[in-house]
Amino acid sequence: MKVKLPVFLIPRIIAWIFSVIVGIYPFVQGFNSVSIPTYDQQSVLNKYLINANFPLPNAETVEQQWMQEFATNTTYLPAPLGPLPCPRGTDAPNREQVQAAIDLVRNGNTHQAIAKLKPLVNTGSPHWLPVLTITILQATAGQYANAKQQLDTFFAQASNRISMSKSGGMSFAGRLVKQGDTQSIALTHLVYNRGALWLQQEYYNKKLIKILQHGVGTFRRSLGWRSEENLQQATILAPGCPHGNDHALAVSSVYNNLVVGYILTNRSYSRGHLRRETIRKYNDDPSTNPLQSLLIQYRNNRTIPSRLLLALSNAERVIHGIGITNLRNAVFQYNLRQLLQTIDRYNGLDSNNLQSIQSQLLTTVDWNTIPQVAQQDIAMHIAKTHLAKGNWQIPPNITQRLASKYKVLLNARIIAQELRTKHRKQTVQEIVAGKYNNIQHALNAQADIWIQNVRKDIITHLTTTAQAIRNKPECIPLFHEIRNLSSNMDINMPGLNHLCTLRINSYTSLNWLADWIASWSSPWYASLGISIIAGINASFLWFIIPLLILLWVITQAELMYITFNSLYHIENKAQSS
């Protein structure tokens, strides 16, 4: 018996159409997966990255953080106390005992020397020589409070009162003091030291200003100056010391403490007082006295506190008499810079004028004028100043006074600045290529954080660029470079997640032709060869094999269906017959 099997044409047609639809998309994907790498990626990177001048803000922030460790608690520095006297050059009755105490100091026995001098100052009316000597030794030993109390007690006695006349004369204990004699010099040192100790102990009040003004007055009268406008780079030797001795008190130190006193004493002064103090009868060349123009410009400014303008006025007197290029007192230079920066915060100074003044300060430093405890603070300030001006060559006498920790940070900052500016192109190339051993060796412990932040800056630049050219084939290589650079970094950057969909978005904006166009941007033989490889790969992997599997499944289903229906018809026919 013959049975005619049914022909299932429609299921076959549906299966073939479905298999073709399923195969087309993988074919395109297969081609794209092979065609992307053929784009000339290096030329794109050269165009948008290596040769591009883009900012590196994250790297700069890291460098600034290194310099923040240079910050100190020092805002303004009082000048140190004056030098020890030379007792044998005086006519003091107890000069030999004082000399013996000084000899003990030279042998390293400061505390023993202080003990030896105490009986000489604890009398009812002590002589100025042991008082001056013991207070200097107490300050050297860190006994500032004792030294201050000793001088306060000395000047509280009626027999030790000082009075100064407007004509330039000075009297002590009711007797006129001759200009330039030993007693005049001794009083100058005593009054100056008292003001320095009040500053050291932070007694910021009206009496402090009066003491500091007396220090200036006694200094001026000891030299016979009738006016503060004829200052010069003068010094007053320590009492009893011969000429040529380096034990001297400089005019810049005396005025330095008055300047610091005005700044730190939170007092207001009348406009009339301010006007009288800031009048000048001269007109200096700005190259030698740049402060005069600032004083004239701001003396009527009500935004800037009057105490700061008085401080500026007294600093200007020193610059007028000495000249800014002849200044050798680093403490005074440091405080003047701090004063200008403080005024700038209240009322912005002209940047060119400010930079001109700053460039002339702290260029030459006499370290003998700086207390040992303040030398590192001054050195750090000078180093930061040089770097802020783009001057990477820090003087050796500055770096040698820095602790090893700060030397490392300073060296890293200098090298990082050079890598970021002078050797920028090479630095970017090495970091993009992942070959930055030289950078790590140069920056040592600071290398990893700096390199990571440079990579962040590169990724930010590439992200911005890729978003700007997202409708161009060149965006594809940039996208891959971003993924390569950020693969091992735990970063959260604006726009990066959006950019990671660039590959998918390119199919909707350019359809799937984006990679085809990118492929044909390469040399023609490379594009042709890769197209053939892509076609074979796609046909075999994504079209032929899935299609054969699908057809086999459909054929098996057809056979099962045919067999079942045929047997069913045969059985029915057999039963009916």
What per-residue confidence (pLDDT) applies to 72? Answer: 53
* 332 and 436, same domain (yes or no): no
What per-residue confidence (pLDDT) applies to 423? Answer: 87
**For all residues of the chain together, what is the average pLDDT?**
76
> Closest Cα partner for 174 from 183, 163, 186, 187?
163
| For residue 262, pLDDT beyond 90 | yes
What per-residue confidence (pLDDT) applies to 196? Answer: 94
* 23 and 54, same domain (yes or no): no
What per-residue confidence (pLDDT) applies to 308? Answer: 93
* 213 and 335, same domain (yes or no): yes
| Separation CA 157–CA 125 (nearest Å) | 8
Beta-carbon contacts of residue 133 (< 8 Å; ≥ 6 apart): 84, 85, 87, 98, 101, 102, 117
**479 vs 80, which has greater pLDDT?**
80
Q: What is the largest CA-CA distance in the chain?
A: 160
Tell me how far apart the terminal alpha carbons of the chain are, to the nearest angstrom. Answer: 12
Give residue-wise pLDDT tens across range 78-106.
888 999 999 999 988 999 999 999 999 98
Give the residue from 353, 370, 387 where a domain finishes: 370
Instruction: Answer whether residue 144 is part of any domain.
Output: no
**Pairing status of strand 170-172 against strand 175-176:** antiparallel
| For residue 457, pLDDT beyond 80 | yes
7-13: average pLDDT: 58
Q: Alpha helix (H) ranges present in 223-360? A: 251-264, 271-278, 291-298, 306-322, 330-346, 351-360
Distances (CA, A) of 33 to 28, 338, 354: 9, 63, 61
Tell me if residue 164 falls in helix, strand or coil. strand
* 209 and 339, same domain (yes or no): yes
Instruction: Answer whether residue 94 is part of any domain.
Output: no
Distances (CA, A) of 193 to 214, 225, 399, 498: 11, 21, 31, 68
* 211 and 303, same domain (yes or no): yes
| For residue 35, pLDDT beyond 50 | no
| Separation CA 505–CA 519 (nearest Å) | 18
Instruction: Answer whether residue 283 is part of any domain.
Output: yes
* 487 and 348, same domain (yes or no): no
Instruction: Answer whether residue 256 is part of any domain.
Output: yes
Instruction: Answer whether residue 260 is part of any domain.
Output: yes
Long-range pairs of 29-33 with CB within 8 A, sequence gap ≥ 24: 29/538, 29/542, 30/534, 30/537, 30/538, 30/539, 30/541, 30/542, 31/515, 31/516, 31/531, 31/534, 31/535, 31/538, 32/512, 32/515, 32/516, 32/534, 33/534
Determine how many CB atoms are found less than 10 A away from the CB of residue 88. 13
Instruction: Answer whether residue 324 is part of any domain.
Output: yes
| For residue 230, pLDDT beyond 80 | no
Q: Are 39 and 552 in contact (CB under 8 A)?
A: no
* 439 and 295, same domain (yes or no): no
* 348 and 257, same domain (yes or no): yes
Give residue-wise pLDDT tens across range 404-427.
888 888 888 889 988 988 888 888
Give the residue from 455, 472, 501 where a domain finishes: 501
**114 vs 539, which has greater pLDDT?**
114
Q: Are 132 and 85 in contact (CB under 8 A)?
A: yes
| For residue 392, pLDDT beyond 90 | no
Six-digit token string for 243: 């000429």
pLDDT band at 527 (very low <50, low <70, confident <90, very high): low
| For residue 513, pLDDT beyond 80 | no
The total of structural domains in the chain comes to: 3
What per-residue confidence (pLDDT) applies to 166? Answer: 65
* 417 and 364, same domain (yes or no): no
* 358 and 223, same domain (yes or no): yes
Give residue-wise pLDDT tens across range 132-142.
999 999 998 88
CA 180, chain centre distance (Å): 48
* 226 and 350, same domain (yes or no): yes
What per-residue confidence (pLDDT) applies to 511? Answer: 40
* 233 and 349, same domain (yes or no): yes
Half-sphere exposure of 40 (CA within 13 A, CB side): 12
Instruction: Answer whether residue 423 is part of any domain.
Output: yes
> Closest Cα partner for 41 from 435, 525, 420, 466?
466
What per-residue confidence (pLDDT) applies to 350? Answer: 59
Six-digit token string for 82: 């004056």
Tell me if residue 170 falls in helix, strand or coil. strand
> Closest Cα partner for 190 from 165, 156, 166?
156
Instruction: Answer whether residue 136 is part of any domain.
Output: no
What range does the domain containing 226 cover?
A: 202-370
